[in-house]
Amino acid sequence: MEINCVEVESKKYPKALKESFKKLVSSLGPKKLYYKGNWDEKIFQNCLAVVGSRHLTYYGKKATEQLVTEVAAAGITIVSGFMYGGDEAAHSAAVKCGGKTIAVMPCGIDLIHPANQKELYQKILDTGGLIISEYEGDAQPQTFTYIQRDRIVAGLPKAVFVTEAALNSGSLISASYAKKMGKKIFALPGPITSEVSKGSLKLIKEGAEVVTEAKDILKYFDILPSAKKAGKNFVTGDSLENKIIEQLKREPLKADELARLFVIPVAQLGTALSLMQLKGFISQDSGKYYIN
């Protein structure tokens, strides 16, 4: 099989990556980059790294989907590390809206890790994205290769967007590389009580820019957002359904909590919830109901 490889001396080697590592004293850039997919230099022009916890909350997942969809649709390449959780959410949001995305693997180029994301892997290639790695063959990922991978994730793009991150997480490692490379850091604000928001909140405290809408990121790239998405408006004539929608807009709740709140039998509430799910107003995830 043909081995696709770009060496550091090559003209094809991403300039941004080379520049990034010049500013870094502690570590060197990859000498070789193995890749799968179609190597087109344009893909490296406007890159944003999106990194996040392996254990995203529902909020983190929703926010990533929403923001990345708009950013990727505007033509920015999404770079991430192909791990499950935050990385997966970023890649798949980009793939879904027809954007381009680069997955930086912590393992040999021939290996798909984690293996259960085979489908996503294929989709990235199908939509003109790239899979890259500095390791050849089917080398297994090691603890240190994840961190080595993080430096490439930080090195390729112009800015890094941290969605949800716990303290001492890989996402913060990417962020600290990016900071040393002099790159812009964006962070998603989250509840102060959430373990997986403590890292991103710490970044905000240290000067990262808060992202509340895609425009915050697009402005930095000097790109105008595509047509503004209208907020969903759920029309329903049912008063209980309206009450449920109002409540879920504030925060996701369990069926039991809703029943107690409205003081109605859980049987009646269950009926309403099922019908609303069928109408596509709300969805359920690990026991809680969310507004769509």
Partner 1 sequence: MLIKIPSVANLGLQTIKVDIEINLANKGLPGFEIVGLPDKAVDESKERVRTAIATSGIDFPAKKITVNMAPADVPKEGSIYDLPIAVGILSSVLEFPVPQKSLFLGELSFDGSLRHTKGAFLMALFAKEFGFINLFVPKDSANEAAAIKGVKVFPVENLTQICRHLLKQEEIFPVVYKQVAENIPAPVEFDMKEVLGQEQAKRAMEIAAAGGHNIIMIGSPGSGKTMLARALPGILPPLNEAESLEVTKIYSASGGIPPGGSLILNRQFRAPHHTASLAGLVGGGSKPQPGEISLAHRGILFLDEFNEFPRSIMEALRQPLEDGYLTISRSKQRVVYPADFMLVASANPCPCGYAMHPKKNCTCNPNQISKYQKRISGPILDRIDLHISVMPVDAGEFSDNQKNSDFLESSEKIKQRVVFARKKQEVRFSNQGEKKVIHCNSQMKNADIKKYCKLLKDVEEILRQASLKFQLSARSYMKMIKVARTIADLDNAEEITVSHMAEALQYKPKYHELS
Where on the chain is the footprint of partner 1 (CB under 8 A)?
Answer: 54-55, 84, 114-116, 166, 195-196, 254-257, 259-260, 265-268, 270-275, 277-278, 286-288
Q: CB-wise, 97 or 259, nearer to partner 1? A: 259
CB of 195 to partner 1, least distance (A): 5
The answer to whether the Cα torsion of 53, 97, 190, 258 is positive or negative is negative
Q: CB-wise, 25 or 267, nearer to partner 1? A: 267
CB of 11 to partner 1, least distance (A): 39
Q: CB-wise, 20 or 145, nearer to partner 1? A: 145
- Going from the C-alpha of 60 to that of each of 157, 195, 198, 207, 254, the distances in angstroms are 22, 12, 13, 21, 18
CB of 117 to partner 1, least distance (A): 9
Where helices occur in the chain by DSSP H, the ranges are 15-22, 58-73, 86-96, 118-126, 143-155, 170-180, 198-205, 214-220, 239-250, 255-262, 266-279
CB of 84 to partner 1, least distance (A): 5
Q: CB-wise, 62 or 288, nearer to partner 1? A: 288
Q: CB-wise, 10 or 116, nearer to partner 1? A: 116
Query: Which amino acid, 51?
Result: V
CB of 270 to partner 1, least distance (A): 4
Burial label for 265, CB within 10 Å (0-12, 13-18, 19+), is exposed
